[in-house]
Amino acid sequence: MSAALNPGSIGQGGGDPVSAGDLGSRLAFFKNLQAVTNKIHATANIDEIMLELSQDVCALFNADRLTVYSLSDDKASIISKVKTGLNSFRDLKLPIADQSIAGYVALAKIIINIRDVYDDAELRAINPDMHFLQEVDKRTGYRTKQMLVAPIIDIQTNDLLGVVQIINNKTGVPFSAVAEEGVKGLCETLAIAFNQRSKPAQTIKTKYDHLVLDAVVAAQEMELATRSARRKNIDVEEALIAEFQVKLTAIGAALAKFFGVPYEPYKPDRIKPLDLMKNLRREYVEQNLWLPVDETPEGIVILCMDPEQVKSSRIVNNIFARSKIAYRVTTNREFKQTVDQFFGGGGFTDDTNVGDLLSAMDEGEIEIESGDDISAAADNELVKLVNKVIIDAYQQGASDIHIEPGMGKDRVLIRLRKDGSLSKYIEIPASFRQAIVARIKIMCDLDISEKRRPQDGKIKFKKFGPLDIELRVATLPTAGSVEDVVMRILAAGEPIPMEKLGLLPHNLERLKGAVSKPYGLFFVCGPTGSGKTTTLHSVLKSLNTIGTKIWTAEDPVEITQKGLRQVQINKKAGLDFPVIMKAFLRADPDIIMVGEMRDAETTKIGIEASLTGHLVFATLHTNSAPESIVRLLDMGMDPFNFSDALLGILAQRLAKRLCKCKEAYTASAEEMQHFLAEYCEELASTETFKRDGKAAFDAVYQEWVKKYANDKGQFTLYRPKENGECDTCGGSGYKGRMGLHELMIGTDAVKKLVQEHSRVALLVAQALEDGMRTLKQDGMEKVLQGMTDMKQVRAVCIK
């Protein structure tokens, strides 16, 4: 029995169809076929396919031997690359013609399943001119009988690519219909593999060609980018980024493959290697396009855009003669970013940089003695260094500068606080630790000889540099007979409108209602650096009219407003908060703002002022709005006077805001249930939840659906982009901070609890009943708005 089959009609002839009882065998066969397919896809070239996989294919079809033919270059014959069963060391070449079985299959492009190749009648039934070449069997003594032969055809073009020939079923029966079906699938896989591996290798001409090979851009797009770059006189890299949205990481990967060295991306938190850079100037780096960025066990890491050129110049090896060199390639844009990071860029830049300044100082000097502090602090290069640190901190958006000398010969570490988190800036040789502290003390008029006690001061930087900013300075003696310095940057600025404070509409409406009262006491509480002063000045801006007299007592005056009479605390002159508060009461005020109520006397004066027809604002360092009440009562305030005066308390924190590169995702129903349960935990103590918790729970959820869900009732949340590439946030996923607010209004019910000196838990429950949202609840609603995520909310909220 024999069959000649069209590849599209497998199973219509040849072999017995698989019966229902053989279903398990059929499944096992196709599972093994998939394994062979995977191996084919893993091969590197056609020769490997034909030479290495013959045993796997024979085992799959339970066959003795396998021959795989590929199409010759002239497309007139097929050539065997598999020697299975042959003792000859030459390839077997067959013309594409009727005479041979494989040649006929190549010509007709059909599958044939032969019971016995020696049966001439069976062969003539397929084609009158077909015969089996018996010379191979005669020479080797092998007896060929069954044969399953199939063409390898390009599915898209229907062109012949080769032939598969499977010889002798080990069971002695013809190959089954399942085998015919299997060989068709095998040939389809081989067609794909032959096509992919037969394509001529593309010549790599430019460093961006791997973008085409890796299918990041098409060849036509690369050509367009090259033309555009030439026309606009820009780098090809910039054209790829701007016009075809190619990511820097993809360009970096292409460069790494071209040059054969690892790709090094821009790192915003990279520490400047001052020891490596002290002899390098910006002009030299920009001209020669290489930069040392780190020293690792692998060697000194050299960042460059063309490693081959840098290596061939041998300049790096001459400069770092005794060190191993590890080259890293980077993109043009990221190299410029790193240069700006190390040498300063944009804004108030000059020709100096930290590396130049340090190299200009004599690092070989011994530790400066105390008697030399003044002369050392006046050194021109040290003056420039301190100014440069302050300017860089301001340009990078830092709020604080931390100068931390090490003990012994350890270096001086300088860190910057940006968006609430500290990051390393530079390290300075230990020999300058006393001089740099002395220089800062001189700038803020502190006693440079006093090193055993903390000191506070202020720097008006306009006298020393190009920026009109002030810095609040604190020095503290630390272990090892050294002094730490912390400088808070007080950038002069205008107050922002209340509508831009980031308050939820619910809180904004209640806040406006509270501060519009003619008299009373209103507090803003939170830790240092939580934005209390910013919020108070925004409130004062809304109340600042020609008919209102506003006095403020601040330490220091951070934000100035026209129309406000602002007084700076000066303890040396005896001008502290109680003294100023008493003076305010004699100065015909309408509104008084106190920077901080630190003691009982100031608080008592504030309460008395609010009860005598004045509107008083103040800040407190407390954790939450209800806790502020207990804190003030514990300070000895009269509960009846305090409750009468209380308008409200606003607690706030600053949480990191998601960058614009944030990723959106649809929250699952289970996630939203957990989210809602966490939100409602703090409402469980209210009377509304005690009466009917399920109804109150559902009411909160329905309110969310109305405000934040889409038409299908689904919630879209956001998360920081992992391993992102963003110039705005530097890949961190966060940029800037936003306020979380907890507004407690002095309602009659709250005032009654104050008079009774009630516990915090009762105050919280009543405030929530009256409409307060805790800091965490406020943050969770801002998560629903896509402004931040729960990680940041939990990071700044105690509960």
Gap between the Cα atoms of 307 and 309, Å rounded: 6
pLDDT exceeds cutoff 50 at 178: yes
773 or 141, greater pLDDT: 773
522 or 558, greater pLDDT: 522
Q: In what order do the strands lie in the sheet with 299-304?
A: 290-296, 299-304, 325-329
Residue 519 falls inside a structural domain: yes
Residue 265 falls inside a structural domain: no
User: Tell me, what's the pLDDT at 366?
Assistant: 37
When pLDDT is cut at 50, 70 and 90, the band that residue 345 belongs to is low
Residue 743 falls inside a structural domain: no
pLDDT exceeds cutoff 60 at 783: yes
- Note whether 518 and 493 are within 8 A (CB): no
* Whether residues 387 and 517 fall in one domain: no
Gap between the Cα atoms of 345 and 335, Å rounded: 13
Quote the DSSP letter at residue 724: -
Gap between the Cα atoms of 62 and 73, Å rounded: 32
Residue 767 falls inside a structural domain: no
Residue 65 falls inside a structural domain: yes
Count of beta carbons in the 10 Å neighbourhood of residue 528: 8
User: Tell me, what's the pLDDT at 174?
Assistant: 92
- Sequence length of the chain is 799
* Whether residues 194 and 225 fall in one domain: no
Lowest mean pLDDT among 277-281, 542-546, 609-613, 643-647: 277-281
* Whether residues 505 and 649 fall in one domain: yes
Give the domain extent around 697. 657-738+774-796
CATH code where residue 575 lies: 3.40.50.300
Residue 753 falls inside a structural domain: no
Strands 147-153 and 63-71: unpaired
Strands 469-478 and 455-460: antiparallel
pLDDT exceeds cutoff 50 at 10: no
- The owner of tokens 């209390």 is 532
Residue range 476-485: mean pLDDT, rounded: 91
- Note whether 391 and 367 are within 8 A (CB): no
Q: In 3D, which of 613, 546, 620 has the Cα closest to residue 585? A: 613
Of 428-432, 485-489, 560-564, 634-638, the range with the highest mean pLDDT is 485-489
* Whether residues 536 and 663 fall in one domain: no
User: Tell me, what's the pLDDT at 11?
Assistant: 35
* Whether residues 386 and 424 fall in one domain: yes
CATH code where residue 129 lies: 3.30.450.40
701 or 18, greater pLDDT: 701
Q: What is the DSSP string of 339-396?
A: HHHHH--SSS--S--HHHHHHHS-TTSPPPPGGGHHHHHT-HHHHHHHHHHHHHHHHT
What are the b/e assignments for 191-220, b being 16+ CB within 10 Å?
A: bbbbbeeeeeeeeeeebbbbbbeeebbeee
User: Is residue 303 classed as helix, strand or coil in its secondary structure?
Assistant: strand
CATH code where residue 402 lies: 3.30.450.90
Gap between the Cα atoms of 404 and 411, Å rounded: 9
When pLDDT is cut at 50, 70 and 90, the band that residue 768 belongs to is very high
Please give the mean pLDDT across all residues of the chain: 84
* Whether residues 731 and 785 fall in one domain: yes
User: Tell me, what's the pLDDT at 361?
Assistant: 57
For 382, residues 6+ apart whose C-beta sits below 8 A from its C-beta are 361, 376, 432, 435, 436, 439
* Model pLDDT for residues 362-416, shown as the tens digit of each residue: 444 434 444 455 455 455 677 888 888 998 888 888 889 999 998 888 889 999 9
Residue range 590-618: mean pLDDT, rounded: 90
User: Tell me, what's the pLDDT at 1?
Assistant: 43
* Dihedral sign from CA coordinates of 111, 114, 117, 122: negative
User: Tell me, what's the pLDDT at 478?
Assistant: 92
* Whether residues 20 and 6 fall in one domain: yes
When pLDDT is cut at 50, 70 and 90, the band that residue 649 belongs to is very high
* Whether residues 278 and 388 fall in one domain: no
* Whether residues 294 and 179 fall in one domain: no
Where among 627, 655, 683 does a domain terminate?
A: 655
For 680, residues 6+ apart whose C-beta sits below 8 A from its C-beta are 689, 696, 697, 700
* Model pLDDT for residues 669-714, shown as the tens digit of each residue: 899 999 999 999 989 888 889 889 899 999 999 999 999 999 888 9
* Whether residues 687 and 626 fall in one domain: no
User: Tell me, what's the pLDDT at 615?
Assistant: 95
Q: Count up the domains in the chain and report the number.
A: 6
Helices (H) and strands (E) in the chain, counts: 33, 25
When pLDDT is cut at 50, 70 and 90, the band that residue 769 belongs to is very high
Residue range 480-497: mean pLDDT, rounded: 84
pLDDT exceeds cutoff 50 at 320: yes
Residue 529 falls inside a structural domain: yes
Find residue 698's DSSP bridge partners: none
User: Tell me, what's the pLDDT at 16?
Assistant: 41
When pLDDT is cut at 50, 70 and 90, the band that residue 34 belongs to is confident
86 or 154, greater pLDDT: 154
For 371, residues 6+ apart whose C-beta sits below 8 A from its C-beta are none
* Whether residues 648 and 662 fall in one domain: no
When pLDDT is cut at 50, 70 and 90, the band that residue 645 belongs to is very high
Q: Is 664 left (phi over 0), alpha (psi -120 to 50) or beta?
A: beta
Task: Give the H/E segment covering residue 236.
Answer: helix 236-244
Residue range 293-317: mean pLDDT, rounded: 89
User: Tell me, what's the pLDDT at 358?
Assistant: 61
pLDDT exceeds cutoff 90 at 666: yes
User: Tell me, what's the pLDDT at 360?
Assistant: 58
Residue range 626-651: mean pLDDT, rounded: 91
For 774, residues 6+ apart whose C-beta sits below 8 A from its C-beta are 624, 682, 742, 764, 768, 797, 799
User: Tell me, what's the pLDDT at 334?
Assistant: 92
* Whether residues 314 and 445 fall in one domain: no
Task: Give the H/E segment covering residue 91.
Answer: none
- The owner of tokens 């050194």 is 379
Residue 246 falls inside a structural domain: yes
Gap between the Cα atoms of 179 and 171, Å rounded: 13
Q: In what order do the strands lie in the sheet with 615-620?
A: 564-568, 550-554, 591-594, 615-620, 520-525, 646-658, 734-745
Lowest mean pLDDT among 427-436, 685-694, 783-792: 427-436
* Model pLDDT for residues 395-409, shown as the tens digit of each residue: 888 889 999 998 888
Show the beta-strand stretches assigned E in 379-492. Answer: 400-405, 412-418, 421-428, 455-460, 469-478, 482-491
For 591, residues 6+ apart whose C-beta sits below 8 A from its C-beta are 540, 543, 548, 549, 550, 551, 614, 615, 616, 617
pTM across the whole model: 0.58
* Dihedral sign from CA coordinates of 361, 367, 371, 377: positive
